[in-house]
Structure 1
Amino acid sequence: MSTTTAYSVAGMTCNHCVASVTEEIGLIAGAENVSVDLVKGGTSRVTVTSADALDRTLVAAAVEEAGYQLVAAA
């Protein structure tokens, strides 16, 4: 059974941002699907489906690696 969790990410402005965040989160073990609802210049919603709940610190680190900031659970 999969788990779906939504996160709020600040700073994304374009499709390249979406691709970077999607790629970095997708590298986390157990991540199965990442979708982004882009809000240019605002807080975007990133929804992650995974085999089990992901460690929030790993998700935050992945988002930061992509150059953005995890602000709160959506």
Structure 2
Amino acid sequence: MTKLSQTRYGVRGLTCNRCLVSALEAVRALPGLRRVAMSLVPSGESLLTVTPSDVATGSELRALLGSVGFELTLRRHEQLPSDLIKPPSEQQAPRPSHP
């Protein structure tokens, strides 16, 4: 079974679903990412997970998210079996909420 790399980052500055969608769209625009997921923690550090992380380096992600107003911090890096990871065509983007 193939092992893929997964890296988790903390993201500060996300305060609403619009922020989440903006950050996700920016990260998903990077070529070669198999999976991108993000959870929103409005008053804290949200979680960004990318697979494989060797395509987009932390510095590239940090610069990209910084350009749209968010701060990136590294949390952890791990190996996953490839059958646990959905291809982009099977992922769903969150829907923005309207205030």
The TM tier, using the shorter chain, reads: 0.7 to 0.9
8 Å CA contact 1:26–1:32 kept in 2: the answer is no
Which residue in the other structure is 1:73 paired with? Answer: 74
Give the counterpart letter for 1:66 in structure 2: V
How high is the sequence identity, in percent, across the aligned residues?
31
TM value normalised by structure 1: 0.83
* Corresponding position of 1:30: 32
Whether the 8 Å contact between 2:58 and 2:74 is mirrored in structure 1 is no
**Structure 1 unaligned residues grouped into runs of 5+:** none
CA RMSD of aligned residues (A): 1.5
Question: Highest Rg: 1 or 2?
Answer: 2
Task: State TM-score, norm by structure 2.
Answer: 0.65
Runs of 4 or more, structure 1, over 2 Å off, are none
1:32 positional shift: 2.2
Q: How many residues align?
A: 72
Tell me, which stretches of 5 or more residues in structure 2 are unaligned?
A: 76-99
**Alpha-carbon distance, 1:66 to partner:** 2.1
